Structure 1
Amino acid sequence: MTDLLVFWQENLPLMIDGLIVSLQVTGLALFIGMPLGLFLALGVQGKSIAVRAISMAIVEIGRGAPALILLQFAYFGLPNAGISLSSFGAAAAALSWTTAAYTSEIIRAGLEAVPHGQKEAAVAVGFTPMDALRFVIVPQGLRVAAPALLGFSILMLQATSLCFAIALPELLSQAYMIGTTTFQYLPILLLAGILYAAICIPATIAVAFLERRLGRHAA
C-alpha cells in the first residue's frame, strides 16, 4: 500500500496536468457547442425548409457519428482539405460538434415542454413572435433542459478520454504514457479513475440536487 501511494505521489503532477487539459477541452466544447445546440434546436423547428434540412443534417451527423470518428476526422482528415488543427483544436472542434448535436435535442425537448399558452399570452400582451421566443419561450425551455444539459456536461468530461487517440495530453493519455514508462498500468489507471470520479461524482450529486429543486419549484 505504501508503494502504491508513493507511486501515485510521484506521478500526480503529470496526472493533474492531464486533468486540467481534459477540463479545458470540456469547457471549450460546452462553451461553443451549447449555443450552437440552441441555434440548431431553433433551426429544426424553423419554418424554412432549407434551414430545417441543414440543421437536421448537422444534428444527425453529430449524433450518428461516434465522437472518436469525429476526433480522427478533425485531426487526420481535415489536413487533406488544407485545414490543419492541433490536437487541442481538433478535440475542441469535434467535441463541440458532438455537444451541439446532442444538446440541440435536449434543448428542443425543453422548448417543446413550454406550454403553448405561454407564447399566446406573450403575443397577446404585445410581444412580437421573436420577442416571445427570446424573453418567454427560450428562458423557460432552458430552465426545463438545465438538469439534462448539466448531466450531459459530465458525460463530455468523460468523453475527453477518447482524445488519447489524437495524442492530446489529457488525463488518460498521461496515464498511458506513465504506464508505458513504468509498466504499472493498473495503479496509474486506477489513479486516473479516481481523478475522474473526484470531478464527476460531486457534479452528479449537484445535478440531482438542482433537478429536485427545479422540480419542486415547478410543482
Structure 2
Amino acid sequence: MFPDVASILPTLFGGLQVSLTLTFLSLLFGLPLGLLFSFGVIAQNRAFRYVSVFFVEVGRGAPALVLLQLMYYGLPNVEITLSSLASACLALVWTTAAYTAELIRGGIQAVPAAEIEGSDALGMSMRDRLRFIEIPQGLRIALPSLMGFAVLLFQATSLAYTVAVPELMSQAYSTGSSTFKYLPAFVAAGLLYLAISVPATWLSVLAEKRLSRHL
C-alpha cells in the first residue's frame, strides 16, 4: 500500500491548497465578525444584541454541514444561487464567527477588572479603553483557543466535499474512484491533514505556554 500512497500524494496537493484557502478565507472574514458579535451579545442596544445572539446561537447550534447545504441549495423562495466554493466559504465564515465570538468574549471578560477601573480613573473614553486595553488583552488571552479552533476549522473543510468543492477529501475520493484504490487515497489524505494539523496544534500549545509565562 505504501508505494500507492506515495504515488497518490502529489495528486492531492491541489485539494490541500483548496482546503487551506477555505480555512484562510473563513478566518479572514470570520474573525472580525466574531469580534463584532462578541460585543454584540453583551451590548445594551437590544437590536444589536438580538441580531448578534441569533447569528451566534444558530452558528453554534446548527452543524456546519447543515449551514453548508443551506448556503449551497439556497433559502426557500430566494432566487440566489451560489457556487460551491462561495457557499462553503460563507457557511464556514458563519461557523467561525459564531464560535470565535464566544472565545473572544471570554477573553475580553477575563481582562482584570483593576485595569478597567484604572482606565476609568485615568479618564479614558470607552473607545480608547476598548482599543488599548480590552481588545488587545482579550485577544491575547483567547489566542491559544483561537489557534486550536483554526485547526478544527481546517479539518472541517472536508465537509465541503458534499457540495463538490475540489478540496482535499474530494480529491481523495475522486482519485479512489478512478484508480479503485480507496484505502491508499484516504490514507494519503489523512497524512496531509496530519501534516498541517499536528504542527499547528503544537504551535498553539507553545503559544499558550509563552503567553502564560507571567501567570
Shorter-normalised TM range: over 0.9
Q: Distance in 2 between matches of 1:22 and 1:208?
A: 23
Q: Which runs of 4+ in 1 moved over 6 A?
A: none
Comparing 101-110 with 70-79, which one deviates more in the overlay? 70-79
**C-alpha separation between the residues in 1 aligned to 2:88 and 2:107?**
28
Q: Which residue of 1 aligns with 2:208?
A: 211
How far is the alpha carbon of 1:9 from its aligned partner? 4.0
More helix by share: 1
Identity of aligned residues (%): 51
Cα distance between partner residues in 1 of 2:112 and 2:129 = 13
Give the secondary-structure state (helix, strand or coil) at the position aligned to 1:168: coil
Q: Does 1:90 align with 2:87?
A: yes
Indicate the residue corresponding to 1:12 in structure 2. 9
In 2, distance between residues paired with 1:177 and 1:103? 33
Equivalent residues of 1:78, 1:84 under 8 A apart: no
Secondary structure, counterpart of 1:216 in structure 2: coil
Unpaired stretches in structure 2, ≥5 consecutive residues: none
What CA deviation, in whole Å up to 9, does each residue of 1:85-120 have, x standing for no partner? 111111110000000000000000001100122122
C-alpha distance in 2 between matches for 1:11 and 1:75? 30
Pairing partner for 1:29 from 26, 44, 59: 26
Q: 5+ unaligned residues in a row in structure 1: which ranges?
A: none
| Corresponding residue for residue 192 of structure 2 | 195
Alpha-carbon RMSD across the aligned residues, in angstroms, is: 1.3
Q: Deviations over 1:132-152 (max 9, x none)?
A: 011111110000000000000
Deviations 1:1-60 (A, max 9, x none): 5xx32x334333320000000000000000000110000001111111221111101100
- What letter is aligned with 1:56? V
Greater Cα offset, 192-201 or 45-54: 45-54
Encode CA deviations 1:190-219: one digit per residue, 9 max, x unaligned. 0000000000101111110111111113x1
Instruction: Indicate yes or no: 2:111 matched with 1:114.
Output: yes
Contact 1:179 1:185 in 2 (8 A): yes
Question: What is the CA–CA distance in structure 1 between the aligned matches of 2:60 and 2:199, rounded to whole Å?
Answer: 27
* Structure 1 position 83, deviation (Å): 1.7
**Please, what TM-score do these two structures have when normalized by structure 2?**
0.96
Which residue is equivalent to 1:43? 40
Q: Shift of the alpha carbon at 1:63? A: 0.4
Q: Using the alignment, how far apart are the partners of 1:188 and 1:136 within structure 2?
A: 49
Matched, 1:67 2:53: no
How big is each residue's C-alpha offset from its partner over 1:146-182, in whole Å with a ceiling of 9 and x where there is no partner? 0000000000000000110000000000000111111
Amino acid at match of 1:129: M
Q: Residue in 2 aligned with 1:165? A: 162
Q: How many residues align?
A: 215
Letter in 2 for 1:20: Q
Confirm or deny: 8 A CA contact 1:62 1:97 kept in the other structure: yes
